Amino acid sequence: MNITLNQTDGTNAQLKVVLEESDYAPKVDQQVKEFSKKAQIKGFRPGKVPAGLIKKMYGKSIMVEAINKLLQEAISKYIKDNDVKLLGEPLPEPSQDAIDWDNQKDFEFTYAVGLLPAFNLPLDKSVEGYTIDVDQATIDEAYENLKRQFGKTTNPETSEEGDFIYGDLKQVDGEFESKTLIPTNRIVAGKEQFIGVKADDIIRFDIRKAFGDDNAALAHVTGLSKEVVADLNGEFEFTVEKINRTEAAELNQELFDKLFGKDEVKTEEEFDAKIRETIKENYDREADNLLSRNIIDTLVDNVDVELPNEFFKRWLQVTNEGRLTAEQIEENFDKYLKELKWSMIKNKVVEEHELKVTNEEVVNATKEKMLAQFNMPEVPEELAESMNNYANQYLSQDNGRNYINEYEQLLAEKVLAKLKEKMTVVEKSISAEDFKNMSF
């Protein structure tokens, strides 16, 4: 067997494999013998079918299977032994001559190969991070939301300020129509039209003026995306069906226990401190997620690396046959390139810093997520064995795909943590309100 890699340019190469009969014949003979032991052919006892008959009847298919397996093993070993950095896998060249499996003894296979060149990480680039200022207005809003969320809902006959009005929203000169819930506290202009209304009343209004040109509010009310509602305007009619009013929940022990567990909080002062702590933790987590996205975007946008684009397009189509068309690949190619670059960056950080994820880390992370689902701070001793079994069952599902996903997520977190150490993060103080209004 002879394998050669001929580089045609900086990012493309051709891999050629030459097989002689002596390379694959022993494997074919072995497969024939194995097959003859199991074959059930009329006129012969099980395990007594002559190898020559098996070779005559199934020799070609056995040879094709043996050669394909030998090719895969040999190419994988060559790539590993020579440390060839590939994009995806080698793809058979479509131009090679048809193989005469009945008469050929020696074979030559050629593959197109996409090469991933060496590159440097642009770690000198700075990224923007955020320190969130949780002001009193944010705390007050959280209190209002909690009181409403855990309050008692009633359906009065007539609407008042702060009510939610349910009904049918219809575009006057258009096709849009949907059942929706309009929060009166989000109305900016013409609020008086929504106060004092009853079931079957019809309200006519300019939707963009009513919601103060706020696309987020329009998206919430219509159920459409922000991109679609950006062009939504004109007169709408809203037919009232019912009024929803929430009586605010009281700040008592029942509410404290619902939110934080039995007797974890016992006074309004402790409740206030816990609310502030929880809100700050949530914003810090969101700010850290945004920093991670900024790091990824900065590195991907600034990494100087040449890629085998045409090979990449072909590889995407071959590996996603029936799921992606050439047109779809072309349309979304910038996104695929970004994903490829980030994958290369991750692999480089893992290799340079010898980052690893242990099996124990995967299992523990899975158990932590399960605890969070049940709102449990830790595993009770009597449930420890059951929790381990649940975690292992989950990780083994889908042929281990859940394990791989958890592993990859933990590895990505370690990569980002390392990059946050290496890159300059410029912290910017921002109010919670401004942070919420940022476009992610």
Q: Are strands 152-154 and 126-133 parallel, antiparallel or unpaired?
A: unpaired
Are 127 and 420 spatial neighbours (Cβ–Cβ below 8 Å)? no
Structural tokens at position 266: 């016992």
pTM of the predicted protein model = 0.72
Cβ-based neighbours of 194, under 8 Å, separated by 6 or more: 159, 165, 182, 184, 187, 203
Tens-place pLDDT, residues 125-158:
999 999 999 889 889 988 888 888 888 889 999 9
| pLDDT single digits (tens) 407-429 | 999 999 999 999 999 999 999 99
Is a pLDDT exceeding 90 seen at residue 195? yes
The tokens for 333 are 């190619």
CATH fold of the domain at 254-437: Trigger factor, domain 2 (1.10.3120)
Question: Shortest CA distance to 23 belongs to which of 77, 80, 60, 66?
Answer: 66
Distances (CA, A) of 156 to 8, 83, 257, 358: 77, 73, 30, 58
Q: Are 411 and 345 in contact (CB under 8 A)?
A: no
One-letter amino acid of 277: E
* Fold type of domain 152-247: Chitinase A; domain 3 (3.10.50)
Residue 9 CA, distance from chain mean position: 34
N-to-C CA span, the chain: 54
Residues of the chain with CATH 3.30.70.1050: 2-114
**Side-chain half-sphere CA neighbours of 159 within 13 A:** 29
**Tokens 């940022």 identify what position?**
438
The CATH architecture of the domain made up of 2-114 is 2-Layer Sandwich (3.30)
pLDDT tens-digit readout, 273-323:
999 999 999 999 999 999 999 999 999 999 999 999 999 999 999 999 888
Mean pLDDT of the chain: 88
- Outline which parts of the chain fall under CATH 3.10.50: 152-247
Task: Please list the residue range(s) of the chain that carry CATH number 1.10.3120.
Answer: 254-437
CA–chain centroid gap for 32, Å, is: 46
User: How far is it, in rounded angstroms, from Cα 51 to Cα 66?
Assistant: 16
- Residues paired with residue 114 on neighbouring β-strands, in sequence order: 12
Contacts of 345 (CB under 8 A, 6+ apart): 121, 299, 300, 303, 415
Give CA–CA dist 229/406, Å, rounded. 37
CA–CA separation, 392 vs 407, rounded Å?
13
Look at residue 437 in the predicted model and tell me its pLDDT: 75
Closest CA to 90 of 340, 315, 324, 325: 315
- From CA 160, how far away is CA 184, in angstroms rounded? 8
DSSP 312-369: HHHHHHHHTTTT--HHHHHHTHHHHHHHHHHHHHHHHHHHHHT----HHHHHHHHHHH
**Taking the alpha carbons of 231, 236, 240, 244 in that order, is the dihedral positive or negative?**
positive
Total residues belonging to the chain: 440
Rounded Cα distance, 123 and 247, in Å: 54
Q: How far is CA 146 from CA 150, 151, 279, in A?
A: 6, 8, 12
Residue 204's beta-bridge partner residues? Answer: 237
Question: Any idea which of 55-64, 74-83, 363-372 has the lowest mean pLDDT?
Answer: 55-64
Q: Which two structure tokens, joined as six digits, stand for 53?
A: 């008959």
Tens-place pLDDT, residues 216-269: 889 889 988 878 888 888 999 999 999 999 888 888 998 888 888 888 889 999
- Please write the tens of the pLDDT for every residue from 70-90: 999 999 999 999 999 999 899
Q: Are strands 126-133 and 107-114 parallel, antiparallel or unpaired?
A: unpaired
Return the pLDDT at 403. Answer: 94
- Does the structure show a pLDDT above 70 at 376? no
Given a cut of 90, whether residue 335 has pLDDT beyond it is yes
Of 420, 401, 400, 402, nearest to 412 (Cα)?
420
